[in-house]
A and B are shown apart, each in its own frame.
Chain A
Amino acid sequence: MKAKFLELFRKHDQIIVLIVSTIVSVTALVFYYTHHLTLEYNDAASHLNIARRITDSLTPGIVQIGSNWLPLLHLLELPLAINFFLWQSGFAGSTVSMLSFIISVLAIYKIVTFLTKDKVSGLIGAFAFATNANLLYMQTTAMFEPLLIATCIWSIYFLLKWGVEQKISQLLIGALLVFFATLTRYEGWFLFIFAVPYVFIISIKKRNYKYAEGRTIIFLFLGGLGIVLWLIYNQTIFGSATYFMSSEFSARGQQIIWEQLGKLPAKGNILLAIWTYSKAVIYNSGWIAFILGILGLISLFFKKIKLQIKISLAVFLFVPYIFHCISLFIGQSIIWLPDVTPFDPSFFNVRYGLIMLPSIAILIGFLTVRSKSVKAIVLLLLLLQAVTFYYNGGQLKARNITDLKDTMAGNNITDTKTAQWIGKNCSDGLTLISAAGFETIVFRAGLTMNHFITEGTGKYWKASLMVPTKYAKCIVFGESWLDKIKSSMSNNVDFQNNYIKAANYGSMQMYIKK
């Protein structure tokens, strides 16, 4: 029996890994969906809305992608978000994340196995990854992290493979995956920046300068295409190639407000930046896995792998770490942790630490190479790690998961009630509301997007801010710095004469045409 299983595994190891990771993924989805947790992130609603708006909007089109976020996630969600149920249930996003998770598990297995020739170590690395509670939750949501992990980790796999075998097809696939990573999130740009000298150095060591030049150009041209296209898109649609950085809706725009409020403590403080991000990583991976990862890093340098590959791997695995530390340091990113940023007791963007999980998992795989006892110990420790995420006060609770706590910061009953009001009272007309400020409300209203006049609806938005009666039946605004409606309506005669206040929940006010 055991021999048969081993034989089966030997022949079909990758398929088995895929099947098992699929089962794990689907099980997690069933759990979190039935507990109504897959749409807890406000950003998840935003991503789903963006994908939906490309086809369902007063002004549909590719421009609805906007410039806040890189577009790949939305484009992948698009075919599914066309369906109302898949959009509203969040499955349009969950599907993309789950597929990303499944193939990421395989990638980790393949990286460890390729470099160590030890399939069991590969399995342990994959196990470390696939059993992480935060990741299991995150892969049920319409968030960036799973897709980013998938594109990055597969890029690394092919680039490492190319580094050893020098097949042009591997370099091309690696470049293609970096291209996808650069269109997923800005960590992908950092990966690209690191990958270019990697390709050059490896090539020059293998052959000569001309070879290195050629291979680098080939990698650069495809790998950097995503960046170029994004700049061209911003230039063409918004009139500035760096609009994504400089617009009021951009991360930088938000960071400026936080800085003014004194809530960017890591800016200019490299040690705090490192500490903050490291804690974020630990919150996501867990202490046990983190320490095992450190040990794995140390053990890496004792493994019988070419030095240049070891160094390359180490560098690649730490690219996200370097990126986030620098982002925090220059004030481009924000992470709040209760024990690091005491001014706010909540978790905010702690999920950024999840990006280091693949690196940790791979290093754990390396740690267990060629030692059965180490394998057994590590496996037990990982199981213990998995349990600790769910165990809280004698009970197994999903709420111990850090990334779930992250969602609580943005989750409030006001939004839900406002959304329900809109769904009930405005379904036969258009509602003027700021999507930038209240995307979650728009999502939860349960109406198709062409019921809403938002920033992305061009002439409808502009006209409604001046003469709201032209299009809007309902007007909803609140206390968001991104929301222009309140200021536009404050001295608007057309608004004052023709709309009455119908309801308010918290800071949200709802008006309806008389």
Chain B
Amino acid sequence: MKTQPRLSIIVPAKNEAENLPLLVRQIHQALSKPHIQYEIVIVDDYSTDNTLAVARSLARRWPVRVVQQLGRTGRAEAIIEASRHLRYETVAVLDADLQYSPSVLPKMMRKLTGNTGVVIAQRQRSETNWFRRLASRSYQNIFGYLLHDLSYDVQSGLKVFRREILERVTIQAHGWSFDLEFLRQARNAGYDIVEVPILHQRRYAGKSKRSLITATPTMSTAAIAFKFRRLQAIPFHADQVKEKGHGFHHHGQEFIPHSNLHESDSAFHRLSRPQVFVTTVLLAVLLVSLYINWHVTITVFIAIITLLYFTDLLFNLYLIYRSFSKSQEVQITSTALAEPTTWPTYTIFCPLYKEWKVLPQFVSAMSRLDYPKEKLQVLLLLEEDDKETIRKARGFSLPSYFQIEVIPHSKPKTKPKALNYGLTKATGEFSVVYDAEDIPDPQQLKKAVLAFRQADDRTVCIQAKLNFYNPHQNILTRVFTAEYSLWFDLVLTGLQSIHAPIPLGGTSNHFRTKDLHHLQGWDAFNVTEDCDLGMRLVKHGYRTAVVNSMTMEEANSDMMNWFQQRTRWIKGYMQTYLVHMRHPQRFMRDWKEPHVITFQLVVGGKILSMFINPTMWIITIAYFSLRPFVGSFIESFFPAPVLYMAVFSLIFGNFLYIYYYMIGCAKREYDDIIKYVFLVPFYWLAMSISAWRAVYEMFTQPHYWAKTKHGLHLQKKKAVAQAVKVTGIKLVDQRLIAQVKPS
């Protein structure tokens, strides 16, 4: 059944007693014939004539409601006031001076289809004086078009639009500036704007309230101020959320992250306004200092980075010591596993993108999980545009607890977006993320559940340890394995021992599903959503614990693939650092746990070391190899305390960092890989190159997710054989998965 169109008309009125009666009649004439249900909301803006009385008398006869302006006077204020009293889903703002014929309203309403959110009555052949026309045109061209790229009749006194725009956006305009800000925000909110021509008539009665002399400067100033005001992301309307999921518009583009994480807590923006300000100030100070005394400036700069380098060295040494001093993992014994208990429901998220080939291995791995299958929900999260994977996945006879969820195409196209989508479908009391190539310990889900029961209320995440099943595939996988061993067996356990924020691994993070909802899921714009979530949960006062369970995954065996992956990781760390430095005070919930400091060292220090270390090496090599030429020059930048700190950091820092890799391998009993650790300096060099690439991408494509290719090991028989040896199981067990149906 076709619903009757309904229109709320806002009429701001200041001393318009003579115009109102005719206006109301014309509106009625225009709308009654096409059976458009309407209401007129007249806002009396502190009129000094009998506008209010006239309006009230009109209200007795016509569908008119009268609102008295509260607060400041002004057209913008009047419209905003009126918007609180509207009943219908379509709104018109119409000046009371009868310069715009209401007869065009039905036509304008008809234009409000599809994505069109605003219809403007474009003034044609204006009957006003030339001066006003000139002023209006100038404003439109300079401030509307040039400054804001709005090629519309911005100041038109008749606009028809969807009420949801006012519900979604916040208009911070005053006086005569409503229209520009409104159109700017409407476009920001993703709506199209169209125009309908109208004859701009003379004013029927009374005088214009807009004095060009007073209005022009304020409107111009406001237009410039709007330009400097950052456009906020505009969340979806409730109806849109129901239809598409949580999302927002920004600069007219639609983003559906499937999470209502606020933009200030998201990597959607690279830098917040205060961060831009601080960065600009710092850069300015640096430039001025260089100009005043470049030598002292560079010396101070070197002293600062040396101090940071030294602090990072000491911190990592402390972490390694802590990782040895006490076993920090949550230990779940086989006895505990054997005790009878009720197991809760569990959701497993597995985002896949163009990696259907690994699916049989994944299905085998999930089938091996020692967990009641009736309590499992495995969500395969597939992207709508990945038609091949969808087709192949549907072609498999997947176990009954598998569920294929196709994520409608939207921006951003990232793994965390897919996870957020999956979260909306999750039914399990607990949740975990696995990548498609993962082979988790079959006891892992049970261990996680028991670990949660053992842990305190503040522990909302249980992280399993990660390692690789193809460590010996080539030199790259060997060194990568050494790195992972260090990270999961030494660094994470050290961080856990001091209750520091833990950057989660990209997989095998276990949560109570309700806590995930409380944390608002993952940041869809952060390319290391795991690291970000690890920090965010600390800000909420929560903790992560590491459990004695391993997930085996595929080490990157291809250099270019590794490079892309590493660039993404470093970029993600940069994003995470910048996001969480917007509100660093939130790390200080408890003064006894100064997470803001450990955050600087864990995330900031990791990024910084990739730039500082090669710089120090370059300086050292230059000093020794070109000593006669540059020796004294370099020495002049290193006063004695800085020199000793720098030399100590360089020698012992690099030694220790290499040694940590060895210790990590030894702890994991990868003794044959230890000798490859001597190649780590080249690995670091590659990481430093990735870091620079990450900086570049931060500027050019911050949310770009370079998909890491998985399943490369499946192309090499030797690698598969090694993986079988390492895991002790067949990667793909045909007994566990049914044959693929012909697709």
Contacts and interface: CB of A to CB of B under 8 A. Distances in A.
Interface of A: 61-62, 168-169, 172, 210-215, 217-218, 221-222, 225, 229
Question: What 3 A-B pairs come out closest when comparing CB atoms?
Answer: A214-B671, A214-B674, A210-B672
Nearest to B673: A214
B169 to A, nearest CB: 61
B662 A221 contact: yes
Interface string B648-692: 000100010011001101110111111100000000000000000
Given A213-B671, A215-B671, A221 B644 contact: no
Contacts of A62: 644
A217 B651 contact: no
A249 B670 CA distance: 47
B640 A61 contact: yes
Contacts of B669: 211
Contacts of A214: 662, 665-666, 670-675
B675 A218 contact: no
B675 A213 contact: yes
Contact of B663 (A168, A212, A229): A168
Given A61-B640, A169-B324, A217 B662 contact: yes
Contacts of A212: 671
A351 B362 CA distance: 70
Contacts of A221: 658-659, 662
A62 B646 CA distance: 14
A211 B673 CA distance: 10
Contacts of A210: 671-672
A315 B9 CA distance: 101
A213 B672 contact: yes
Interface residues of B, number: 19
A61 B639 CA distance: 11
Contacts of B666: 168, 214-215, 218
Given A221-B659, A222-B659, A213 B640 contact: no
16 contacts: A61-B640, A169-B324, A212-B671, A213-B671, A213-B674, A214-B665, A214-B666, A214-B670, A214-B674, A214-B675, A215-B666, A215-B671, A218-B662, A221-B658, A221-B662, A229-B651
A225 B655 contact: yes
A229 B659 CA distance: 15
A280 to B, nearest CB: 37
A449 to B, nearest CB: 17
Contacts of A218: 659, 662-663, 666, 674
A215 B667 CA distance: 11
Contacts of B655: 225
A169 B323 CA distance: 11
A169 B675 CA distance: 19
Contact of B675 (A61, A211, A217, A222): A217
Nearest to A61: B640
B204 to A, nearest CB: 92
Contacts of B651: 229
A211 B675 CA distance: 11
Given A213-B672, A215-B671, 5 more contacts: A61-B640, A168-B663, A168-B666, A172-B663, A214-B665
Contacts of A211: 669, 671
B652 to A, nearest CB: 9
A61 B644 CA distance: 9
A441 to B, nearest CB: 29
A222 B677 CA distance: 14
B503 to A, nearest CB: 25
A164 B671 CA distance: 19
B524 to A, nearest CB: 41
Contacts of A215: 666, 671
Contacts of B674: 213-214, 217-218
A168 B675 contact: no
A221 B651 CA distance: 13
A62 B663 CA distance: 31
B488 to A, nearest CB: 16
Contacts of A225: 655
A168 B320 CA distance: 13
Contacts of B672: 210, 213-214
Nearest to B320: A172
Nearest to A217: B674
User: Quick one: which of B655, B665, B667, B674 has the most chain A CB within 10 A?
Assistant: B674
A61 B640 CA distance: 8
A79 to B, nearest CB: 14
B379 to A, nearest CB: 40
B478 to A, nearest CB: 12
Contacts of B667: 168
A454 B640 CA distance: 21
Contacts of B644: 62
A213 B669 CA distance: 12
B659 to A, nearest CB: 6
A488 B295 CA distance: 41
A151 to B, nearest CB: 18
User: Quick one: which of B324, B662, B667, B669 has the most chain A CB within 10 A?
Assistant: B662
Nearest to B666: A168
B318 to A, nearest CB: 15
Nearest to B677: A217
A172 B673 CA distance: 18
A33 B656 CA distance: 41
A510 B741 CA distance: 105
User: Quick one: which of A61, A168, A214, A229 has the most chain B CB within 10 A?
Assistant: A214
Nearest to A168: B666
Contacts of B662: 214, 217-218, 221
A96 B675 CA distance: 37
Nearest to A169: B324
A168 B663 CA distance: 8
B323 to A, nearest CB: 10
Contacts of B324: 169
A232 B324 CA distance: 31
A217 B674 CA distance: 7
A172 B659 CA distance: 10
A215 B670 CA distance: 10
User: Quick one: which of A169, A212, A213, A221 has the most chain B CB within 10 A?
Assistant: A221
Contacts of B675: 213-214, 217
B471 to A, nearest CB: 13
Contacts of A168: 663, 666-667
A212 B663 CA distance: 14
Nearest to B656: A222
A212 B675 CA distance: 12
Contacts of A172: 663
Interface string B144-181: 00000000000000000000000000000000000000
User: Quick one: which of B659, B663, B671, B675 has the most chain A CB within 10 A?
Assistant: B671
Contacts of B663: 168, 172, 218
A406 B658 CA distance: 45
User: Quick one: which of B644, B658, B667, B672 has the most chain A CB within 10 A?
Assistant: B672
B206 to A, nearest CB: 89
A64 B457 CA distance: 57
A210 B640 CA distance: 44
A184 to B, nearest CB: 18
A211 B670 CA distance: 8
A400 B651 CA distance: 47
A225 B670 CA distance: 23
A210 B674 CA distance: 10
A60 to B, nearest CB: 8
B50 to A, nearest CB: 91
